[in-house]
Amino acid sequence: MISKSKLALVAIVLALGVTIHAQPFSIAPVQDGHVCNDTQYGPTQAYSSSGIHIRNIAGRRRVGYVMYDLSGVKVAGRLFQNVTLSVMGYDPGAIVVYGIKEELDDAFVGLNFNQLTWATVPAGVPNNPSPAVDSPVQLDMDDLVGPLLNFTAPARGVRASTDPSQELADFLNKDTDGIVVLLLAPAEGANAIIRSIEYAGGELRLEGELGGTALAASGPTPADKATDVPRDVRLSWKPGAYAATHNVYLGTSLYDVNNASVAQPLGVLVSKGQTGTTFDPPKLSYGQTYYWRVDEINGAPDFTVIRGPVWSFEVEPYSYAVKPISATASSSHNADMVPGKTIDGSGLDGQDRHSTGQDQMWLS
């Protein structure tokens, strides 16, 4: 029998194993800015400055946007953890952070955030039509995930980090395209300004750690984004360090596979609580792109679910286009029975032997 003290020591060792090799990260925004719907700048006017305005008082109705590129930081099988925002303050005030839903990211890519207006921003606030000028800030919650974090902007010239947010970490871990956009909304009556990338050293930095132990599933077979995959493929993966069982999600919809859970399977939870690290799907459709995800479930006592990344692959096509081949002979019986059929594959029968059929063979 193991004593309680030894169990406690084992627990400490396991905990250290999770974090001792964690890699810190700090990401500056790609873009940031804010939109206004007030008496100073109306819904069709852009206003840029060295600060991001997050305000909800008479004459100042403003919401901030910040975009990050995670592609240079994310590592397969590693999880974002202890995620915070490092903020340079200007005017203190209460701020609520939301995430823009991933399917709306593309609408922000390529935009100049300094030229955004309330009327043209792709998501996050109602603008079709825009609410009355100088009305209290409203959000379009259908576009948003969260809230992910609440914090108070620090005093002018002070840089401070928010408390870690598991909700913000989960939002980053669910991302599949490498781009995330955050919306910074003011609490009721708030009048906050934080520094932007326009101000030297003032950017709103996304910080935290990438988990040092591969808690999530990794090493997928077929490889992520593989093509020409046999339709009878067997899926396999490397398990997380402490995984006892695995939940497998597989389907043709990226949205469903990315958002499904045991509580909401969305028709793509194909295996629940399996102990092995392979899965044999039924015959897949030719030429179809499939998305899949494996969530790892740790053992007792907590049975923590470690969400896996979303992978994809494309099944082999039903047929392959035959490249034209030039072949000549002294003669052909007719225009259909030409010599090229002996070498381009079109002259083979169902058993891959040279056919003697008049529509497939070459006859001189």
The secondary structure of residue 341, as a DSSP letter, is G
Q: Model-level pTM greater than 0.75?
A: no
Amino acid (1-letter code) at residue 71: S
Residue 337 structural domain: 322-364
Q: What's the confidence (pLDDT) of residue 357?
A: 64
Q: What's the confidence (pLDDT) of residue 358?
A: 62
Answer with the one of 162, 181, 210 that is the final residue of a domain: 210
* Structure-token match 């953890």, residue found: 81
4 within a domain of the structure (yes/no): no
**How far apart, in whole angstroms, are the C-alpha atoms of residue 198 and residue 278?**
50
Burial 94-119 (b: 16+ CB within 10 A, else e): bbbbbbbbbeebeebeebebbebbbb
295 and 147 share one domain: no
222 and 303 share one domain: yes
172 and 251 share one domain: no
90 and 203 share one domain: yes
Answer with the one of 210, 237, 255 that is the final residue of a domain: 210
Q: What's the confidence (pLDDT) of residue 115?
A: 95
Q: What's the confidence (pLDDT) of residue 74?
A: 84
Q: What's the confidence (pLDDT) of residue 213?
A: 61
13 within a domain of the structure (yes/no): no
3 within a domain of the structure (yes/no): no
Number of domains in the chain: 3
Q: Is the peptide bond before 129 cis (omega within 30 degrees of 0)?
A: yes
Q: What's the confidence (pLDDT) of residue 355?
A: 58
160 and 51 share one domain: yes
**Within 13 A of 194's CA, how many CA atoms are on the CB side?**
32
| DSSP 3-state of 65 | strand
SS (H, E, C) 95-152: EEEEEECHHHHHHCCCCCHHHCCCCCCCCCCCCCCCCCCCCCCCCCHHHEEEEEEEEE
174 and 282 share one domain: no
196 and 330 share one domain: no
Per-residue confidence in pLDDT tens, the chain, 364 aa: 334 443 333 333 333 333 336 789 999 999 999 999 999 999 999 999 999 999 999 999 999 999 999 998 987 667 898 999 999 999 999 999 999 999 999 999 999 999 999 999 999 999 999 999 999 999 999 999 999 999 999 999 999 999 999 899 989 988 988 999 999 999 989 999 999 999 999 999 999 998 756 678 888 999 999 999 999 999 999 998 789 999 999 999 999 999 999 999 999 999 999 999 999 999 899 999 999 999 999 888 778 888 888 999 999 998 776 666 666 666 655 666 566 655 555 556 666 666 566 665 555 5
Q: What's the confidence (pLDDT) of residue 352?
A: 62
Closest CA to 48 of 101, 1, 114, 105: 114
Answer with the one of 210, 233, 268 that is the final residue of a domain: 210
Amino acid (1-letter code) at residue 12: I
Please report the beta strands in the chain, taking only residues with DSSP state E, as ranges in sequence order. 23-27, 31-36, 51-57, 60-69, 80-91, 94-100, 144-152, 159-161, 179-186, 191-195, 205-210, 218-221, 226-229, 235-238, 243-251, 269-274, 278-279, 289-298, 305-306, 310-315
